[in-house]
């Protein structure tokens, strides 16, 4: 597998993982309503990215799965939701939220770096298809990062200093 194919695969896996993590965060923090809703919206972006990556991958001899069939959270999620409601009243939930946001931020940054690599490779090979793909998706990855960053900035002063 050449470098481009390798990066496409890494990105595909990264976007799938990010979709899953965004959905898990959304469920776990249902009582932090903005996190819940926006994380669900942003999971859609990653879902779209992995679909586009699977499609593009074919042109590079890759057989990528694309997004998971069923984005609905399933039985485990119901359990997690219950736990989320019970936890919602405790300050500990705040620390857990900050941790989840950090993880999401790191996962999105990793994807962002991969998009960067892909775009750079596309530049030198003058691969329009890849350039378009990166140009379409990378900005959304950056917006995912800015979202986690903003939330961490806004929430941590309160959540880390309150007993």
Partner 1 sequence: MTEGRDRTKDIWGARTPYDPGTPWPARADAHLAPGVAEDDVERWVPSASLLHSNGDAMDIAVRDGRIVGVRGRTEDRVNRGRLGPKDLYGWQANGSPDRLTRPLVRRDGHLEECDWDTAMDQVAGRSRELLEQRGPGAIGFYTTGQLFLEEYYTLAVLARAGIGTNHLDGNTRLCTATAAEALKESFGCDGQPGSYEDIDHADVIALFGHNMAETQTVLWTRVLDRLAGARPPRLVCVDPRYTLVAQQAEVHLAPRPGTNVALLDALLHEIIRRDLIDQEYIETHTVGFDDLAAAVAPCTPRWAAGICDVTPAAIERAAELLGTAERLTSTVLQGVYQSHQATAAAVQVNNLHLIRGMLGRPGCGLLQMNGQPSAQNTRECGADGDLPGFRNWQNDDHVADLARVWNVRPQDIPHHAPPTHAMQIFRYAEQGSIRMLWITGTNPAVSLPELSRIRSILAQERLFVVVQDLFLTETAQLADVVLPAATWGEKTGVLTNADRTVHLSEKAVEPPGEARADLDIFLDYAARMDFRDKDGGPLISWHDPESAFAAWQRCSAGRPCDYTGLSHDRLRRADSGIQWPCTEEAPDGTARLYTDGITFADPDTCESYGKDLVTGASTEVVEYRSLNPDGKAVLRAAEYLPPHEDTSPEYPVQLITGRTVHHFHTRTKTGRAPELNAAAPDVWAEMSPTEAAHQGLSDGDLVQVGTPRGAVRARLRTTAMRDGVVFVPFHYGYWDTPEGHRPPEGSAGRAANEGTITDWDPVSKQPLFKTCAARVTLVARRATPPVRERTDADADAGSRS
Instruction: Give me 2's structure tokens.
Output: 């050449």
Helix (H, G, I), strand (E, B) or coil at 54: helix
Q: E-strand spans in 3-128?
A: none
d(CA 54, CA 56): 6
Do 80 and 27 form a contact (C-beta atoms < 8 A)? yes
Least distance (Å) between residue 91 CB and partner 1: 6
Q: How close are the terminal C-alpha atoms of the chain, in Å?
A: 52
Which of 76, 61, 64 is closest to 11 using CA atoms?
64
> Is the Cβ of residue 64 or residue 84 nearer to partner 1 in the bound state?
84
Least distance (Å) between residue 114 CB and partner 1: 21
Least distance (Å) between residue 62 CB and partner 1: 28
> Is the Cβ of residue 56 or residue 144 nearer to partner 1 in the bound state?
144
> Is the Cβ of residue 8 or residue 42 nearer to partner 1 in the bound state?
42
Q: Which residues bind to partner 1, rule: CB under 8 A?
A: 31-34, 37-38, 40-42, 44, 88-91, 93-94, 143-144, 146-147, 149-150, 153-154, 157-159, 161-163
d(CA 18, CA 21): 5
> Is the Cβ of residue 1 or residue 102 nearer to partner 1 in the bound state?
102
Least distance (Å) between residue 134 CB and partner 1: 17
């Amino acid at each position: 597998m050449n470098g481009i194919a390798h990066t496409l695969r890494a990105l595909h896996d990264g976007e799938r993982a990010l979709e899953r993590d965004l959905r898990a965060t959304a469920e776990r923090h249902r009582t932090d309503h903005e996190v819940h809703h926006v994380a669900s919206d942003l999971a859609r972006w990653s879902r779209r990215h992995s679909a586009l990556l699977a499609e593009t991958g074919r042109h590079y001899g890759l057989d990528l799965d694309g997004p998971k069939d069923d984005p609905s959270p399933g039985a485990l999620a119901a359990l997690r939701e219950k736990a989320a409601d019970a936890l919602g009243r405790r300050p500990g939930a705040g620390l857990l939220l900050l941790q989840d946001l950090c993880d999401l931020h790191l996962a999105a940054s990793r994807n962002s770096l991969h998009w960067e690599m892909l775009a750079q490779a596309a530049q030198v090979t003058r691969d329009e298809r890849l350039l378009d793909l990166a140009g379409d998706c990378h900005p959304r990855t950056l917006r995912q990062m800015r979202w986690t960053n903003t939330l961490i900035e806004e929430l941590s002063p309160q959540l880390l200093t309150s007993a």
